[in-house]
Amino acid sequence: MRFMILIKADKNSEAGIMPSQELLAAMGKFNEELVKAGIMQAGEGAPAQLQGRSRQILRRQAHRHRRPVRRNQELIAGFWMWKCKSKQEAIDWVKRCPNPMPGMEPEIEIRQVFEAEDSARSYA
């Protein structure tokens, strides 16, 4: 089973403030553990929302525009793609994650990614 682990943004990540060297080192160590365990497939940080652009497809035409500023809880600061045996295994790994938002309780979302065999099973 694959899971997308989403780290929600906070005011610091949206202000473009980089994590401390200590947090970067702790996250690096955590990522190494994920790789060694065969869990991590991908993982990246995301730039602040104001640095990005969105694309809306309307009637087969692409329109680029800047989105209105949203609340930080709706924005993503980074993600991982993990392959786990179960949702509980993904939860257990998230519990081991260093706090990406020091001084506050982070919001980390676990979303299962459906694969081809998942849709084949649902139609069987």
Domain chopping of the chain, boundaries: 2-115
Q: CA-based Rg of the chain, rounded to a whole angstrom?
A: 17
List b or e across 30-43, with b for residues whose CB sees 16 or more CB atoms inside 10 angstroms.
Answer: beeebeeeebbeeb
- 5 vs 16: which has the higher pLDDT: 5
The CA-CA-CA angle for residues 31, 72, 104, to 5°, reads 60
pLDDT band at 61 (very low <50, low <70, confident <90, very high): low
Rounded distance between C-alpha atoms, residue 34 and residue 64, angstroms = 36
User: What is the residue-averaged pLDDT of the chain?
Assistant: 80
Is residue 35 within 8 A of residue 43, CB to CB? The reply is no
Phi/psi of residue 17, nearest 5 degrees: -80, 120
Rounded distance between C-alpha atoms, residue 105 and residue 33, angstroms = 23
Q: Between 1.20.1090.10, 3.30.70.1060, 3.40.50.80, 3.40.190.10, what CATH number should domain 2-115 receive? A: 3.30.70.1060
Q: What is the pTM of this model?
A: 0.73
